[in-house]
Copies of this chain bind each other. A is one copy, B any other.
């Protein structure tokens, strides 16, 4: 089976005034191992990769591979300049990454030819599989279905990470089927955007690239396994139980919610996001706090 299948969990990289909290990061990774996730994906958007420098990213990659205990580790190698991406790619492979994840990060909005050139240049240098990461909210670049097909034919590409599916299974199924027809068979399709992940998996996505899975791996795995078993009712009910979290993510961005959730559970310190990012505001935090207690996640 393709490495890029099932539940990929994205841990935060807790960062305070003194730099990365390595002990907390290793704790998060071990929690994912204990939670039996299928992939551990450090230095994704949730892991704040673009806010860290090269040395910090190499260090985080090494810590993750050491703590992963054999679970496949997919490392984010995105950066603005192609030459930086190539350096980060070499570092991730040297650290023992099973695979890498690359979004077309932009400052000047990129053309399709520029994005294709980026993936072409990077995939030519890779020895491990690549997941193509489509995140229009952070990169300002939107993949067309045809462009997914073109990029996914490059060497080493093993998966595409799509930003979501239309709401409701009836609309999601033809969406995933259309993509499936454009993308080679050996390339998996993974959904991100946690609120619609159950729908995406039920509609035929092979993987869930999950933010919440980085903090609540058991809950995310239960949704994933129910969907993989075709148990639509159970998958949707388990997802519905997290609606408070989804709603906060829609409003405040999933990274800030994952940060607050991890703090509620005592996994990271109070200040843990790279400035200028700020932790969730008090009102949102109170709502989350109440949910965490009601869900029995803390005593």
Which chain A residues have a beta carbon within 8 Å of chain B's beta carbons?
45, 50-53, 80-84, 104-111, 113-115, 117-118, 121, 137-138, 140, 253, 255-256, 274-278, 281
Contact = CB atoms under 8 A, between A and B. Distances in A.
Nearest to A119: B276
Interface centre among A45, A104, A107 (most CB of B within 10 A): A107
Given A45-B108, A107-B138, A110-B277, 12 more contacts: A45-B107, A51-B81, A82-B274, A82-B276, A83-B274, A104-B276, A106-B138, A108-B256, A109-B253, A111-B278, A113-B281, A114-B276
A292 to B, nearest CB: 23
Interface centre among A140, A275, A278 (most CB of B within 10 A): A275
Classify the secondary structure of A's interface with B. loop
Given A104-B276, A278-B117, A109 B137 contact: yes
Number of copies of chain A assembled together = 2
Contacts of A140: 140
Nearest to A140: B140
Nearest to A139: B107
B138 A276 contact: no
Contact of A255 (B50, B108, B117, B256): B108
Contacts of A111: 278
B275 A81 contact: yes
B275 A108 contact: no
Nearest to A274: B81
A108 B259 CA distance: 13
Contact of A110 (B50, B137, B276): B276
